[in-house]
Copies of this chain bind each other. A is one copy, B any other.
Amino acid sequence: MHLVAIGGSDAGISAALRARELDPSVDVTVVVADAYPNFSICGIPYYFSGEVAPWQSLAHRTHADLEATGMNLRLNTFATSIDVAGQQLAVRDETGQLSNIAYDELIVGTGALPSYAGIMGLDELTPEDGVHVIHSMGDTFALERFLTERGPKTAIIIGAGYVGLEMAEGFTARGIRVTQLQRGPEVLSTLDPELGALVHSELTDHGVEVHTDTVVHGVEKSDSGLTVHAERGGIRVTHSAEVILAVVGVRPNTTLLADAGATLGPAGAVSVDAQMRTGLPHVFAAGDGVATHHRLLGLTYLPLGTTAHKQGRVAGENALGGQAQFAGSVGTQVVKVFDLVASRTGLRHDEAAAAGFTPLTTQAIADDHKRYYPGAQPISIRITGDAGSGQLLGAQLVGRLGTETAKRVDTYATALFAGLTVEQVSDLDLSYTPPLGSPWDAVQVATQAWSRAAAAR
């Protein structure tokens, strides 16, 4: 039995680890396009901020750790095509040498690629020009080299999603003045603008110049530096800086599977069932390249590291004949932006309406712990529930670092997973001690506010 996994990031490595854990007699090969298997891509912003050093510590596991599990790593090896009928994977090594790897079962975890969102010039200008993405360790080294060698004092970050915000903090920590350009009406568009506004303030409080409603059309290099051409409120604007970082989202990297005949689904991601089967015989897929089973939305595209880990594990088990199921995402996400923590799970109001629910959304503010105990801080919480059934549909939280906001969202995530109503969240038996909570936890102050609004409708 020879199991081949493609991809050195979360899905591929998780699959390989699970297979080796379940059956140490299985021969497992992991084909990795670069030399950096099992690196924590989510940690890259903290390398730039200087909080993580050296870069090697970003590895979830070292090369030696991985080999100790008995898996074989084929580094710097690019998978070029799959012969599904012949059960052969064609690969190209770093010297350009082509070869085939025979497999009994194949798991594809090729992940996603940076999106350029139609911005002119992004695909022509290079790191050498000062135009960067950070999607791989190679990108990371290129940006670090640029920052070290050229010492830019100003940066433009195109995009204000998770990575864009983390990089705004990272650049600021290095003394680089950041201009952040965001297409939508507020930063962190995965939150409702009412809460995104709190994140916006945190950015400006730390010296980041934020421009929302700014649609970037193109990036240009001239003798005087780098210029971003954009439109804001129907007016053409330009911004200049010494370095540009484009973090405007990702698109599923599906070429390999699409060429092999796999079906594509939402956002062009590869369709898989809950067992991570692609429909092609003996070919599984997992991670940022595949469509995501969402417990509230059905099949969607929502690439997340946590999901990739879970899907990879399922694929690894099933490639060995198992019947594991990916239980589904509820879209739980959290980001730290300077001293603020912003998190969400489930659906925002508009998403819920689009999915056919009758959403009601309310916002509450509650202290993280009893006000009489020193250090209490407010957490802003938005609850979305279905006005008809009372089902909890989503929650968004913004609180300061230290308010346990990151793990409070998990209470809602668990309730969503279990299909609880908003009222049932108010009934939960949550922990309380004055330095760390309240008899009605902030989580429940928010759901009670929702219930009052629902009753008043």
Contact = CB atoms under 8 A, between A and B. Distances in A.
Interface string A39-62: 010110010000110000110100
Interface string A403-441: 010111111011111111000100111111111110111
Contacts of A327: 424, 427-428
A102 interface: no
Contacts of A429: 295, 306-307, 328-332, 345, 413, 416-417
Contact of A415 (B328, B371, B414, B431): B414
Given A418-B415, A427-B310, A432-B42, A441 B410 contact: yes
Nearest to A58: B372
A36 to B, nearest CB: 14
Interface in A340-378: 341, 343, 345, 370-374
A432 B304 CA distance: 9
A336 B433 CA distance: 7
A334 B42 CA distance: 31
B57 A372 contact: yes
* Contact count band on A: 35 or more
A305 interface: yes
A432 to B, nearest CB: 5
B414 A43 contact: no
A345 B330 CA distance: 24
A208 interface: no
B410 A40 contact: no
A18 to B, nearest CB: 11
Contacts of A43: 370, 372-373, 434
A262 interface: no
B42 A434 contact: yes
Contacts of A60: 439
16 contacts: A43-B372, A52-B372, A57-B372, A305-B432, A306-B429, A306-B439, A309-B440, A332-B430, A332-B432, A336-B433, A345-B429, A407-B411, A407-B436, A408-B410, A413-B430, A413-B431
Given A406-B433, A418-B418, 11 more contacts: A10-B439, A295-B429, A306-B430, A306-B440, A333-B431, A336-B435, A404-B407, A407-B407, A410-B431, A410-B441, A418-B419
